Amino acid sequence: MRSKLPIFLCALSLVAGVHGALDTFTLKLVPKLSEFKKYKQTAKLNFKGMELDFSAIAARQIIKVEDSGAFQVKEEVSEMKINGTAAPADSAPPATTTTYSPRGVVIKIDGDHTDDSLMRAANLSVFVMPEKPVQTGDKWEYEFKEDKATGAVAAKATYSLLGDEKIGSIPSWRVKFTIKEADAAGGSTEGTVWLSKEDGSTVKLNAKWINVPMSGAGSISGELSQILIQ
């Protein structure tokens, strides 16, 4: 039995190697013009020493798709509640239009009352697709460059494909991520995102925020969840 064990282990490693070679996946965004999605957002946040329970509905619609694969998304937030109490209707953030590259990098954000913190928060939340096919367990990185015109600061994102999983009826990729601004006092996020295998859009998100900049609010830390509801 002892003499056969190395042979068994060798055969097992060969099978694992063949299996790994076959399980290579292409993760990509496939934006569809006029597609509309709604998400339920919930968060437990720390704002200037106060603990807040937050919830809202985020509605997103793809309003432009370019031949290059770049696309624009209009987002509106409604039904905001703080500690279970509905926020005044006029307290919702203004609608924004965000332009993304084919890989999902934020190019610019347009809207009323936008400032540098909006781009920083977007870069700490965005998912950037890998440049080449990946296997379960593979990692890839993306480095955000400082851009004074948009407000972006230097940051680094690391992503890792954990596998696939159904969220409700939606086949999804499960990806772990960490994103951190280069400045030691800057913001960071980490968590898990589930991406639709069909079009690469977010189906579900669980994230931890540390010092994420928010327009008019300084920075916020806490835990955020988001799930597709429509």
pTM of structure? 0.87
Residues in CB range of 110: below 8 A, 6 or more apart: 96, 97, 98, 99
Angstrom distances, CA of residue 168 to CA of 50, 55, 204, 230: 34, 21, 10, 12
Asked whether 125 and 117 are in contact (CB, 8 A), the reply is no
- Spell out the SS3 assignment of 117-168: HHHHHHHCCCCCCCCCCEECCCEEEEEECCECCCCECCEEEEEEEEEEEEEC
Please determine, for residue 3, whether its predicted confidence score (pLDDT) is greater than 70.
no
User: What are the residue boundaries of the structural domains of the chain, listed by start?
Assistant: 25-228
Confidence of residue 11 (pLDDT cuts 50, 70, 90): very low
Asked if 49 and 218 count as a contact pair (C-beta separation under 8 A), the reply is no
CB 93 within 8 A of CB 77: yes
Q: Which of 32-46, 83-97, 151-165 has the lowest mean pLDDT?
A: 83-97
The pLDDT tens digits for 162-212 are 999 999 999 999 999 999 999 988 999 999 999 999 999 999 999 999 999
Provide, rounded to the nearest whole percent, the portion of the chain with pLDDT above 70.
90
Q: Which residue has the tokens 């610019």?
A: 108
- Residue 69: pLDDT above 50? yes
